Amino acid sequence: MYLYQHQFVPKEEVAISPDDRGYYFGDGIYEVFRVYNGELFEAEGHYRRLEKSAADVRICLPYSIKELHEKLIELIQLNHLQEGTVYIQVTRGSALRSHPFPSQPEPVLMAFTTEMQRPIHKMDQGITAVTADDIRWLRCDLKTLNLLPNVMAKQDALDRGADDVIWHRNGTITECSASNFMLIKNGELWTHPANNLILHGITRDVVLKLARQLQLEVHETPFLLDELKLAEEAFITGTTVEITPVISIDNVPIAQGLPGPITRQLQQAFRKHIGLA
Ligand code: PLP
32-85 per-position pLDDT tens digit: 999 999 999 999 999 999 999 999 999 999 999 999 999 999 999 999 999 999
* Residue 128 and residue 245 in one domain: yes
Ligand 1 center to residue 96 CA distance, Å?
Answer: 32
End of a domain among 97, 117, 137? 117
* Residue 48 and residue 160 in one domain: no
**For 127-173, how does the pLDDT look when each residue is reduced to its tens digit (9 = 90+)?**
999 999 999 999 999 999 999 999 999 999 999 999 999 999 999 99
* Residue 67 and residue 93 in one domain: yes
**For 189-225, how does the pLDDT look when each residue is reduced to its tens digit (9 = 90+)?**
999 999 999 999 999 999 999 999 999 999 999 999 9
Closest CA to 42 of 181, 189, 201: 201
Ligand 1 center to residue 179 CA distance, Å?
Answer: 4
Mutate to test the pocket of ligand 1, among 180, 205, 209, 240 (most ligand atoms within 8 A of CB): 180
**For 79-99, how does the pLDDT look when each residue is reduced to its tens digit (9 = 90+)?**
999 999 999 999 999 999 999
End of a domain among 117, 141, 159? 117
* Residue 193 and residue 105 in one domain: no
* Residue 110 and residue 126 in one domain: no
Q: How many domains does the chain have?
A: 2
Q: Which residues does 75 contact at the CB level (< 8 Å), separation at least 6?
A: 1, 2, 3, 8, 86, 111, 112, 113
Q: Which residues does 219 contact at the CB level (< 8 Å), separation at least 6?
A: 188, 189, 190, 191
CATH code at position 113: 3.30.470.10
* Residue 8 and residue 44 in one domain: yes
Give catalytic status of residue 154 as yes or no.
Answer: no
* Residue 207 and residue 236 in one domain: yes
* Residue 127 and residue 222 in one domain: yes
Is residue 277 over pLDDT 80? no
Q: Residue 170: which domain range?
A: 121-273
* Residue 175 and residue 218 in one domain: yes
* Residue 11 and residue 61 in one domain: yes
Measured on CA atoms in the order 169, 253, 243, 213, is the torsion positive or negative? negative
Helix (DSSP H) and strand (DSSP E) numbers for the chain = 7, 15
Name residue 122's amino acid.
K
Distance CA 17, CA 66 (A): 28
Q: Please give the share of the chain, as a percent, with pLDDT higher than 70.
A: 100
**DSSP H helices in the chain:** 21-25, 43-57, 65-78, 120-125, 148-159, 202-213, 261-273
CATH code at position 184: 3.20.10.10
* Residue 94 and residue 229 in one domain: no
Q: Does the structure's ipTM exceed the value 0.95?
A: yes
End of a domain among 74, 89, 117? 117
Look at residue 253 and give its three-state secondary structure: strand
* Protein residue closest via CA to atom 10 of ligand 1: 179
Q: Is 7 left (phi over 0), alpha (psi -120 to 50) or beta?
A: beta
Mutate to test the pocket of ligand 1, among 34, 199, 239 (most ligand atoms within 8 A of CB): 199
* Residue 58 and residue 149 in one domain: no
Other CB atoms within 10 A of residue 266 CB: 27
